[in-house]
Structure 1
Amino acid sequence: MSLTAPRAVIWHNMPVPLTTPHQIVLTTDERAALVALTRPTAQARMLLRTRIVLAAAEGGSNASIARDLGICEDTVRKWRRRHALRRLGGLADAPRPGRPRRFSPVARAQVTAIACELPALRGMPLSRWSSSELACETIEAGVVDDISPSTVRRWLAADAIKPWQYRSWIAPRAPDFASRAAVVLDLYARVFDGQPLGPGDYVLCADEKTSIQARCRCHPSLPPGRARMMRVEHEYQRGGALAYLAAWDVHRGKVFGRCEPTTGIAPFARLVEQVMTLEPYASAARVFWIVDNGSSHRGQTAIGRMRNRWPTARIVHTPVHASWLNQCEIYFSIVQRKVITPNDFNELADVENRLIAFQDLYNLAARPFNWRYTKTDLDILLTRIAAHESGVSAVAE
């Protein structure tokens, strides 16, 4: 025991020689570059690789470096070898090509083409495609041997194609659509009959929001709480309905409205009187009323009735099925979101009070809508629709 113990102590204190063939010797510039990479804002993986190389340059073994940095010894061995063979460039990530592609570009294009077809054209009793149904149809058509719905969904997402969604639209059918729409768009741009509007000319958009119900919920609505959305009882009792008539000043950004039991010629006439007896409209040179073709103000009869009662007022009709040209619809969409939804009123008086109160509140900070749709945009739309219809007709023939 007395002979072997000193030898063990001597052997333990002897430096362990480096067994790796990749010795790290840094130049002054390399060391400065590595030290610069140890800044706190550096990427974590680059910071670790840099510390490995700096420790190896100080003579540390793979085992000691792994122990000091709390990592695997294989990791130290890897980055020591990479730096020894490629110097600083070896610390960057290697190219990662990934696994070979399973599907050819032609197969992907064919899947996209199927997604752009109506299911009925392929004999499927469906109204819209889903990713799983497209995957099954692709396999059935022999495009690919096997494909997952997630792959189909990823391909379509890259092309912004969503065949499971749809949007309703109406093609302009009125023969005078372009001419009528051009008059409305000119008025929005402060032009009428090719002449700019004067300081005494005003443009109003009027419309009716019908059948606003008072739905008294069977249980009181609960306000939002911690980790809980607002709760509204599904069942309700009907408390009647009313109509909200409004006129929107396009260029001044003001709204005038009233509630009526129903729509009709008389309620619309009361809205017109409410506005035309106010300044600056009472003393205006011309007041253009842009309205749709509803029964309250339809045709030449309504135009004559308006001019007889208010000589400075002039009705301008939007084309049929073109309510999107009426800026009052924008205001009504705000009312729907902020006032009516969710519908929770005890009685009709509550509905009317809130509508009128919101109207006053809105006028405090109202400003004209940023309307950017011009006659140029209208011409582009009509040209595109005409080209589409001619293409459909050619396919049908």
Structure 2
Amino acid sequence: MANRPAPALGLRDGDREELARLTRSSSARAGLAQRARIVLLAADGVSNISIAAKVGVSRPTVIDWRNRYAAQGIAGLEDEPRSGRPRTIDHREIVAQTLRPPPKKYGVTHWSSRLLGRHLGISNGTVAKAWRDYGVAPWRVETFKFSTDPELVAKVTDVVGLYLAPPENAIVLCVDEKSQIQALDRTAPMLPMQPGLPERRTHDYKHNATTTLFAALEIATGKVTGACKARHRHQEFLAFLKQVARAYPDTGDGTELHLVMDNYAAHKRVEVRDWLAANPRIHVHFTPTSGSWLNLVEVWFGIIERQAIHRGTFRFVKDLNAKIRAFVDGWNDRCHPFVWTKTADEILKKANRQTTSNTSH
């Protein structure tokens, strides 16, 4: 005689609503929601074989959870306590292993949460939680550079002191050049931004010629004096210094110009030194070697790169130069002061930490 389907499972008062809630809950454990669905289907008279096919479990599993519910109600659907002492995992041990390089047999440079979890015999979620708790991020890497300039302390103190407390009756200008700016032309026209769609452009482009942007940033106002030139030799740099001098003429009131610049060879050519000597109202302050980040005009170069150059399309260098000049004019209409906040002592303390860390490895 053929097997008959099991009779509909009787539900206890109020359980149908709770079981239905468990199947819809996003916070209930997946196993508990699955068991609630099995019981509901069984209560609707669905055969055990059909329930197994719908839920994706075996027929014996369906029978087991039917019997558990019949004996204990909804409480019977919970996981039973496991024997033995719960395993405790020290997050410090996980982090300590993370800080050690992976064994050579893995052939990787750093741990992933899954690889470390498999190595330690724990879940990758446990590893990830330990990393979050201790602020460890093996997938991240940053660069740093420390200066070996023998005059590091003096130069940092000089430049930062100029930013924080400029001399009376002085204008502080940060001077540098952004070289090799390429006029890039896309192989197809840009597709403009539309509701629901960002601006789109082809991944490939045509290389045209380059230009060099010379700039002098007045930190008290944010005003920029700029010039685009085909090359960035000492001849072009000297011509730009003369342009800056004309932009800030000597009015006879004793106003001095203090220029912050890096150690690029063109800045120290004899022709440049001779011209500076002939213009004693102009004083030069050099940033330390490998310390051009102390020059605030580098911040402004980042602004013009993001806002005018990076997403631009230029068929010719003259188009690129025109865009740069338009940006400088627009910037000067809305410019703002550039405020330095870190003291020389704070910078030197951090530089000493990096140097000590590097030499100790």
Return the TM-score normalized by structure 1. Answer: 0.66
Any conservation in 2 of the 1:206–1:291 contact (CA below 8 Å)? Answer: yes
* In the alignment, structure 1 residue 219 sits paired with structure 2 residue 202: no
Q: Distance in 1 between matches of 2:186 and 2:327?
A: 22
Corresponding residue to 1:151 among 126, 131, 135: 126
Residue in 2 aligned with 1:115?
98
Any conservation in 1 of the 2:177–2:214 contact (CA below 8 Å)? Answer: yes
**Which protein, 1 or 2, shows the higher relative CO under an 8 Å CA cutoff with sep ≥ 6?**
2
**Per-residue CA distance 1:223-275 (angstroms, 9 max, x = gap):** 11232221111222222111111000122321110100011111111221111
* In the alignment, structure 1 residue 277 sits paired with structure 2 residue 246: yes
Q: Distance in 1 between matches of 2:251 and 2:197?
A: 51
Alignment of 1:8-47 (within 5 A): none
Instruction: In structure 2, give the amino acid aligned to 1:126.
Output: V
Corresponding residue to 2:107 among 112, 125, 129: 125
Q: Distance in 1 between matches of 2:135 and 2:271?
A: 46
Backbone CA RMSD of aligned residues: 2.9
- CA shift, 1:102, in A, is 3.5
Any conservation in 2 of the 1:306–1:314 contact (CA below 8 Å)? Answer: no
- CA shift, 1:387, in A, is 4.1
Residue in 2 aligned with 1:287?
257
Any conservation in 2 of the 1:281–1:287 contact (CA below 8 Å)? Answer: no
Corresponding residue to 2:163 among 174, 188, 198: 188
**Per-residue CA distance 1:82-121 (angstroms, 9 max, x = gap):** xxxxxxxxxxxxxxxx99864322xx2121012223447x
**Partner of 2:318: helix, strand, or coil?**
helix
Instruction: In structure 1, give the amino acid aligned to 2:202.
Output: E
**Partner of 1:361: helix, strand, or coil?**
helix
Instruction: In structure 2, give the amino acid aligned to 1:154.
Output: K
Return the TM-score normalized by structure 2. Answer: 0.72
Say if 1:282 and 1:272 are closer, same or farther in 2 by CA, change over 3 A: farther
Q: Distance in 1 between matches of 2:239 and 2:272?
A: 16
Instruction: In structure 2, give the amino acid aligned to 1:332.
Output: F
Q: Distance in 2 between matches of 1:281 and 1:149?
A: 68
Residue in 2 aligned with 1:103?
88
Alignment of 1:244-393 (within 5 A): 244-279=213-248, 283=252, 284-298=254-268, 301=270, 304-389=273-358, 391-392=360-361
Residue in 1 aligned with 2:149?
174
**Percent of counterpart pairs with the same letter?**
25
**Partner of 2:331: helix, strand, or coil?**
helix
- CA shift, 1:341, in A, is 1.2
**Per-residue CA distance 1:15-51 (angstroms, 9 max, x = gap):** xxxxxxxxxxxxxxxxxxxxxxxxxxxxxxxxxxxxx
Q: Distance in 2 between matches of 1:222 and 1:309?
A: 54
**Per-residue CA distance 1:34-78 (angstroms, 9 max, x = gap):** xxxxxxxxxxxxxxxxxxxxxxxxxxxxx8xx7xxx9669x9xxx
Say if 1:72 and 1:293 are closer, same or farther in 2 by CA, change over 3 A: closer
Say if 1:267 and 1:309 are closer, same or farther in 2 by CA, change over 3 A: farther
Q: Distance in 1 between matches of 2:300 and 2:182?
A: 19
Any conservation in 2 of the 1:232–1:342 contact (CA below 8 Å)? Answer: no
Give structure 2 stretches of 5+ with no counterpart. Answer: 1-12, 22-80
**Per-residue CA distance 1:208-235 (angstroms, 9 max, x = gap):** 1111111111100111123222111122
